[in-house]
Amino acid sequence: MNFIWFLLIFISIIIGAITGKLPDVVNAILEGAKTSIDVVLAIMGVMVFWLGIMKIAEKSGIIKVISKIIQPVAKWLFPEINSESKAIGDVALNFSANALGLANAATPIGIKAMEEFQKENINKSSASDAMCTFLAMNTAGFQLIPATVIAILAGFGAKNPTEIIVPTLIVTTFAFCSAIFIAKILKKIFPPQIKENEVEENA
Amino acid sequence: MHNIKAIIDIISLWTLPAILLLILGWAVIKKVPIYEAFIEGAKDGVKVSVNIIPYLVAIIVAISMFRASGAIELLTSHLKTILNVLKIPADILPLTIVRSLSGSAALGVFSDIVKANGVESYPAKLGAIMLGSSETTFYVLAVYFGAVGIKKYRYALLAGLMADFVGIVGAIIVARWFFL
């Protein structure tokens, strides 16, 4: 992330200077900072609400029930995660919310899953394999019905906006499965996580 | 086709209420003090929202700068000839890059494609498939990792971007198969 962040900013300034758009790039710093806070404010209320609902779900034991049901899949996806972990149920709910296009609910639920994964993480500042797999699944954006896109197409007066559902479903399913396999392969290629106390000893 | 639309509308309307009813109903049966539990969890929501601010500012500022610099347009104009050979509409290229960076910007780019080519055009349909099958990778990573304070992403970003690429190629192939 250090490198990519530097690269994004470095390229922006250099290209901005070449194309004569440097003033825009400078403005974008202020604009971007403002947008970030707008985004946080926009999601804060939903975040608070859904994390509240998720606490109810957790206390009622429904998360555990869901965890048990999908355990065989979960074991394959996240082999290092304790099968008793509540993370599994959260992952299932996050996946369902995403699939149904409830992005607002999916994000707080996903964060809940991340918190559960973090409990079992051996190094609290670096991503565990389970987290990487989970986020790869999330960034692939699996969705049963692309409601927003259909709405836009309909807004522009498309005769038959729902015709994109099937092709989109094929692509999103394919990308989702690929994401899981890519994460599984990268896990083997990348060096394993180092335990926190070992990091300190090396430093 | 009207039936499909009607079914989708009903599903969209009922998923949230159904999930809420299920969670609350189950909790009431199990005699969970739901109001107290809600407040307890909601407090975490406030903390999480504040925790992700630095991560979001870092990534959104860098991406805003990148978009303002004209780097995407520069790349698009250079790749045009290759795309023509592959019969991929050049208008679609900014969307392939922007969709991993910013959700609202991707919607804007998609609207531009529809306006420029018409809603029944091939680029519009390809764009719709691309947009409908993607998630804003950088944003997802910033929010999820930010919420739990992870600073080393290891292979999460690479996996996300590779999956995005697979999605783009898949969209091009499937769109061609369905609509060309």
What ipTM score was computed for the predicted complex, to two decimals? 0.86
Q: CB of B125 within 8 A of CB of A164?
A: yes
Q: Whose CA is closest to B175, among B133, B117, B115?
A: B133
Angstrom distances, CA of residue B131 to CA of A14, A96, B149, B164: 30, 19, 29, 11
pTM, 2 dp: 0.85
Q: CB of B72 within 8 A of CB of B97?
A: yes
Q: What is the pLDDT of residue B120?
A: 92
Contacts of A51 in chain B (CB under 8 A): 41-42, 44-45, 48
Residue pLDDT, tens place only, A175-203:
999 999 999 999 999 888 888 766 555 54
Contacts of B29 in chain A (CB under 8 A): 60
**CA angle, B148 as apex, B157 and A178 as ends, to 5°?**
30
Rounded Cα–Cα distance for residues A149 and B8 (Å): 13
Instruction: Give the chain B residue nearest A163 (alpha carbons).
Output: B1
Residue pLDDT, tens place only, B2-36:
677 777 778 777 877 888 899 999 999 999 999 99
Angstrom distances, CA of residue A190 to CA of A50, A177, A185: 34, 20, 9
Whole-number average pLDDT of chain A? 88
Q: CB of B67 within 8 A of CB of B105?
A: yes
Nearest CB neighbour to A175, from listed B59, B120, B170: B170
| Inter-chain CB proximity A60 and B26 less than 8 Å | yes
Rounded Cα–Cα distance for residues B163 and B140 (Å): 14
User: What does the pLDDT profile of chain B (180 residues) look like in tens digits?
Assistant: 567 777 777 877 787 788 889 999 999 999 999 999 999 999 988 988 898 899 889 988 998 899 899 888 888 888 888 887 777 888 888 898 888 888 878 888 898 899 889 999 999 999 999 998 888 899 899 999 999 999 999 999 999 999 999 999 999 999 999 887
Q: CB of A81 within 8 A of CB of A120?
A: yes
Q: What is the pLDDT of residue B147?
A: 92
- Burial class, B17, CB count within 10 angstroms (exposed 0-12 / middle 13-18 / buried 19+): exposed
Residue pLDDT, tens place only, A88-142:
989 998 998 888 877 778 899 999 999 999 999 999 999 999 999 999 999 987 8
